[in-house]
């Protein structure tokens, strides 16, 4: 590791790989106890070792930055397919996930099995996405799609007039709609759709002014 904290590329030594594949679960297993040779590492080498151990399964890292561990990104793109919405070629991982650069749809097998339901990570149903694409429209959710996402994922967000809002399902199943400046609670999805408001303006009536409607990350 250099003085700026940047991990330097190091050649991997085969006798120092500590991880192995668990073919049943498709991932590698971290040893509970560090091997004896770790005690002989210099302070700089030990910092590299700790970084690798902590970041082994972090998505999207460069495997060439790993010397002591065999880095494995489960979401590495390994194949291609036609987008389920627009037909463009999309790179996908072993699970079939991959974002279409043309229309923005994330390929998802569960969405294909339930094409009329909002399923994470997409914010609208597959069949609706196809209809919107054919009409030349963006794959933007309406308030009903948004609520569908809420009841699938439990936490949602959006922005209106540069203010961020959150909507989530509380432990008692109440729908909580809030921002830094306000909070409203609703017992049912129907109540939320018909009564949720911002400064007295019904949310369903101003939904076209909403941006960044998505799952809470």
Give the domain ranges of the chain: 14-65, 79-134, 143-215
89 touches 63 (CB < 8 A)? no
Residue 32: pLDDT band with limits 50, 70, 90? low
Give the predicted TM-score (pTM) of the model.
0.70
Residue 3: pLDDT band with limits 50, 70, 90? very low
Give pLDDT tens digits for 104-114.
999 999 999 99
Q: Which region among 36-45, 146-155, 162-171 has the lowest average model confidence (pLDDT)?
A: 36-45
Give pLDDT tens digits for 46-79.
999 999 888 887 877 888 898 888 887 778 888 9
Would you state the structure tokens that stand for residue 152, as one six-digit string?
């699938």
Return the SS3 of 33. coil
Torsions phi, psi for 75 (to 5 deg): -105, 20
Q: How far apart are CA 52 and CA 166, in angstroms?
A: 35
Q: Which residues contact 103 (CB under 8 A, 6 or more apart)?
A: 83, 85, 86, 88, 129, 133, 139
Q: How far apart are CA 45 and CA 7, in angstroms?
A: 11
Check whether 22 has a pLDDT greater than 80: no
């Amino acid at each position: 590791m250099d003085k700026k904290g940047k991990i330097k590329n190091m050649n991997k030594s085969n006798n120092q790989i500590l991880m192995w594949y668990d073919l049943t679960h498709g991932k590698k297993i971290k040893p509970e106890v560090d091997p004896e040779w770790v005690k002989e590492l210099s302070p700089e080498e030990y910092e590299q070792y700790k970084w690798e151990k902590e970041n082994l399964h972090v998505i999207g890292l460069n495997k060439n930055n790993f010397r002591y561990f065999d880095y494995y990104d489960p979401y590495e793109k390994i194949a291609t397919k036609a987008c389920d919405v627009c037909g463009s070629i999309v790179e996908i991982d072993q699970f079939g996930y991959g974002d279409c650069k043309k229309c923005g749809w994330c390929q998802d097998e569960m969405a294909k099995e339930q094409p009329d339901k909002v399923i994470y990570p997409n914010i609208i149903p597959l069949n609706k996405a196809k209809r919107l694409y054919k009409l030349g429209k963006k794959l933007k959710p309406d308030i009903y799609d948004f609520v569908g996402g809420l009841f699938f994922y439990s936490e949602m967000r959006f922005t209106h007039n540069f203010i961020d809002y959150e909507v989530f399902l509380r432990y008692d199943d109440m729908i909580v709609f809030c921002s830094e400046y306000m909070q409203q609670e609703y017992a049912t999805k129907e109540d939320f759709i018909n009564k949720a408001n911002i400064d007295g303006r019904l949310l369903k009536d101003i939904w076209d002014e909403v941006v960044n409607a998505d799952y809470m990350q």
